[in-house]
């Protein structure tokens, strides 16, 4: 609701800054992208913006939204303990905290995930139900992710260590069991490991498959699912996969890392053209400067008129039944059916396997 209040302020004040209240675009990355897709879904934010961009995150990511109040109790107790607030009056107590106190609380929380709740107001129903019923704000939408979302930053933040030289099948299973942010239930893990690792024994290949598995379930599959929903609503949807590992970051991470989580931000914000230790500033190749210009033009075009295309850019088709998407690399290219085999596994094959396993268990008990 704080973001809704901010957008309401924009509507009231943007004219004073030379802006147009009828032409507002929201965009965010990671947690910010989840917020963007939640705002697109929420009836409370209707009319407050007119286009949206979600980079590496959507509201349907596993473990990011809960429908039951009981699922929030653990997090509420944790906040109460760290903040020193009484649970019965925690909202009023937190409102009185200073910025410095809030930052200290956030630091103490670490990477503890805080899901949104189906509160009956901002989210009147579970997101999947709202999407199925086509209950959403009708705005043009750019949705996408990077091709190695779990390459380096996410494992570090989640304390997944010791994988640079490779992983064993057993360490993959153990790690998946101890990553609640992935939202993988115990019965899913064996199927996922078999799908991605199969009979592979090479430790480096196993690690690479593990990183792909985590990136797919956290970012790719939710993004594809939500893009399909909005496409089926008849809305202009543009989908992308960012692929280029910035040369600026090469000395700071292993060579196997491709387009990692947050990498696209260096080009969205024009990093190759920034100086004086500004965030995202640094040396870049001429090819990277061309990429930054292209990405900034795509984003700016979309912010102006809901369509990223303009003369001189590689044509970016809408995400239709052929599921076209843009490969954002040193050379841009339009492709279709991103990770088709993996998407089919998570959306079609796995649900059938789980259903079959549950039926077999019931039959066994009846015997």
- Ramachandran category for residue 311: left, alpha or beta (phi over 0 → left; psi -120 to 50 → alpha): beta
Question: Which CATH code is given to the segment(s) 147-366?
Answer: 3.40.50.1820
Backbone angles phi, psi at 46, to 5 degrees: -60, 130
Which position among 29, 55, 149, 195 bears the catalytic label? 149
The Cα-based distances of 234 to 224, 229, 335 in angstroms read: 16, 9, 21
DSSP state of 367: -
Residue 101 bears catalytic tag: no
Residue 190, CB-side half-sphere exposure with 13 Å CA sphere: 5
Q: What is the pLDDT of residue 356?
A: 80
Helices within 67-216 (DSSP H only): 73-83, 90-95, 99-109, 127-132, 153-157, 169-177, 189-196, 203-215
Under 8 Å between Cβ of 246 and 265: no
Under 8 Å between Cβ of 36 and 26: yes
CA 310, CA 301: separation in Å to the nearest integer?
7
CA 228, CA 234: separation in Å to the nearest integer?
10
Residue 348 bears catalytic tag: no
Which position among 148, 209, 244, 261 bears the catalytic label? 261
Q: What is the pLDDT of residue 113?
A: 65
Which position among 30, 35, 83, 136 bears the catalytic label? 30
Residue 340 bears catalytic tag: no
Q: What b/e sequence results for 154-190 when a residue is b if at least 16 CB atoms lie within 10 Å of its CB, and e otherwise? A: bbeebebeebeeebebebbbebbeebebbbbeeebbe
Residue with tokens 């799908």: 195
Q: What is the mean pLDDT of each run of 10 residues along the chain (367 residues)?
A: 92 96 97 95 97 94 67 79 88 90 84 74 92 96 98 93 94 94 91 96 98 97 97 98 97 96 97 86 93 98 98 98 98 98 97 76 48
Under 8 Å between Cβ of 208 and 256: yes
């Amino acid at each position: 609701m704080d973001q809704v209040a901010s957008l309401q302020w924009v509507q009231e004040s943007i004219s004073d800054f030379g802006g147009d209240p009828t032409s507002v675009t929201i965009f965010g990355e990671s947690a910010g992208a989840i917020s963007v897709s939640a705002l697109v879904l929420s009836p409370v934010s209707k009319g407050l913006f007119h286009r949206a961009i979600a980079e590496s995150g959507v509201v349907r990511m596993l473990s990011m939204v809960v429908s039951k109040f009981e699922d929030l109790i653990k997090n509420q107790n944790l906040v109460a303990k760290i903040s020193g607030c009484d649970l019965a009056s925690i909202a009023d107590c937190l409102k009185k905290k200073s910025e410095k106190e809030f930052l200290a609380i956030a630091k103490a929380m670490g990477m503890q995930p805080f899901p949104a709740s189906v509160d009956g107001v901002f989210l009147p129903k579970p997101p999947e139900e709202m999407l199925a019923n086509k209950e959403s704000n009708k705005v043009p939408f750019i949705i996408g992710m990077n091709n190695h979302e779990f390459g380096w930053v996410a494992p570090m933040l989640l304390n997944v260590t010791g994988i640079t030289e490779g992983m064993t099948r057993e360490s993959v299973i153990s790690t998946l069991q101890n990553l609640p942010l992935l939202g993988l239930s115990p019965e899913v893990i064996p199927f996922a490991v078999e799908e991605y690792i199969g009979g592979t024994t090479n430790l480096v290949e196993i690690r690479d498959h593990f990183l792909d598995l985590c990136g797919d379930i956290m970012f790719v599959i939710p993004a594809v699912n939500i893009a399909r929903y909005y496409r089926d609503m008849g809305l202009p949807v543009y989908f992308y996969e960012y692929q280029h590992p910035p040369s600026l970051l090469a000395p700071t991470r292993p060579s196997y890392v491709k387009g990692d989580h947050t990498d696209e931000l260096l080009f969205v914000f024009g990093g190759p053209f920034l100086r004086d230790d500004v965030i995202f500033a640094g040396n870049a190749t001429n090819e990277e400067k061309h990429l930054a210009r292209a990405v900034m033009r795509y984003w700016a075009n979309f912010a102006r008129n809901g369509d990223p295309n303009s003369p001189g850019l590689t044509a970016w088709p809408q995400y239709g039944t052929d599921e076209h998407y843009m490969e954002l690399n040193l050379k841009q290219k339009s492709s279709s059916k991103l990770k088709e085999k993996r998407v089919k596994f998570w959306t079609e094959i796995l649900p059938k396997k789980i259903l079959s396993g549950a039926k077999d268990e019931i039959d066994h008990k009846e015997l």
